[in-house]
Amino acid sequence: MILTRIEVEGSQYLVRPCLADMVACSQIRGGRFNAARRAWMFNATAENALLLSSSLRKTAKADQVINPFKPKDWHAMKKLLVCACEFKDVTEEEKTVEGARLELLNYLRRTTFIASLEGLTVEEQGKPMVVNGRITVTTKHFVAYLAPTQIISVQKAASLLRALGAETTQRMATSAFSRQSRWALPLPDFDPQQIKPALPQPKPAVQEKVDLE
């Protein structure tokens, strides 16, 4: 029988669900799916331990099925969980980068993608676009999206994108007189099929390799 496996890694629970628990994992608040690890990630808190134990019915640990916790057993289990966890302070830089990742995901989900640059206004040309299987963005359009809630410079946005693993693309022709540089977001964290399924694949005119301004 294939069972759901839960591991403690640092201050996170890694949950690799079996088929029967996949839906339950996606419905637990606070979780996020890590495609690279093929696991759901949850903060290692007492609340999440209770949620996981009560929501997942086919959980395995050391090849044993773990039944949902009873209230009287929770204090003993809590001590074991604390001993198994290694906590560390999150730096301000890590908070900033993680905040940028969440803002970028929200931006991609709420913004309409374009299929090509042809026939669009300058403002529309800045929207996200899939190039060679990867989502690409422009710093100016991302900064404009953030403007109602926070003001950051184009240079700061570029630094955050770089910290998230984005790479500068080649310049693409927007017209006979201008070129556009973009940031290609890393896979699998920003998989276009996960964020925007069934997107058309554009075929832009690629020119010389340059660094983003």
Q: What is the pLDDT of residue 148?
A: 84
Tens digit of each residue's pLDDT (9 = 90 or more) over 94-103 = 677 788 888 8
* 40-69 mean pLDDT: 66
Q: Which domains does the chain have, with CATH numbers?
A: 4-84 (3.40.1170), 92-209 (no CATH)
Q: 130-134, 168-172, 202-206: which has the minimum mean pLDDT?
A: 202-206
Residues 167-183 have a mean pLDDT of 70
- Using alpha carbons, select from 13, 1, 61, 65 the residue that is nearest to residue 37: 13
**Per-residue confidence (pLDDT) for residue 185, from 0 to 100:** 92
pLDDT in tens, 73-120: 666 666 666 665 655 565 666 677 788 888 898 899 888 898 888 888
Q: DSSP label at 90?
A: P
| Confidence at 207, pLDDT banded by 50, 70, 90 | very low
CA distance 143 to 166: 16
Predicted confidence (pLDDT) at residue 136 exceeds the cutoff of 80: yes
Has this prediction a pTM greater than 0.85? no
Q: What's the DSSP call for residue 120?
A: -
Q: Are 16 and 35 in contact (CB under 8 A)?
A: no
pLDDT at 141: 93
> In the chain, which ranges are E strands?
4-9, 12-16, 32-34, 39-43, 59-61, 64-65, 129-131, 134-137, 167-168, 170-173, 179-180, 183-184, 206-209
pLDDT at 121: 84
